[in-house]
Chain A
Amino acid sequence: MEIIQIIGLCFVVTLLILIIKQQRPEIALQLSLALATIIFLLVLNKISVVLQLFRDMAEKANISQMYLNTILKIIGIAYVTEFGAQVCRDAGEGTVAGKIEFAGKVMVMVMAIPIIALVLDTIVRLIP
């Protein structure tokens, strides 16, 4: 029942942030950043188990590791981008969050280029 622990922790930290925010908004922001980091660290341990399962299944199904690795990289980039954008938006800096999201989109596109090229190659070969 780790979810109960996480919810309890979030409640406590929310109250602490409410106390601190009126006096020191910058430390309140850092507190919420630390909370987000700790919760992500807790959840990532679970995700790694699931990803290991995916890798095993892909190996059994004879799917090339390249595709799975690309997808995982894209998921990772999306995840980190979302994290950064959320923190910036929390601090009221919507424009900086927009920049982070833009950079994340470009990175995802770059990661996807090999697969797009492969698909186009296959299509061209199918057309006589």
Chain B
Amino acid sequence: MGLDILFKIAGVGILVSVFHTALKQAGKEDMAHLCTLAGFTIVLLWVVQLLGRLFNTVQDVFKLF
């Protein structure tokens, strides 16, 4: 039931924080920020799809039209 998405999000979070630190150490501040933004956007896409599914299910179950 889509539990893997949680671990995907956690993985992206850890990876992004590592990349951010590495790029910052290398003196590439702007690239570090872009990396953070990219990770955030990917995760946001997943979460929004999940939320859409939730709201559709709520509408079906409670007959909210």
Contact = CB atoms under 8 A, between A and B. Distances in A.
Interface of A: 9, 12-13, 16, 19-20, 23-24, 26-28, 30-31, 33-35, 37-38, 40-42, 44, 47-48, 51, 69, 72-73, 75-77, 79-80, 83
A110 B22 CA distance: 54
Interface string B32-65: 0000100110011011001101110111111110
Given A34-B46, A38-B1, A26 B40 contact: yes
20 contacts: A20-B17, A23-B17, A23-B20, A24-B13, A24-B36, A27-B12, A27-B43, A30-B44, A34-B6, A37-B50, A38-B1, A38-B2, A51-B62, A72-B63, A73-B64, A75-B62, A76-B59, A79-B58, A80-B58, A83-B54
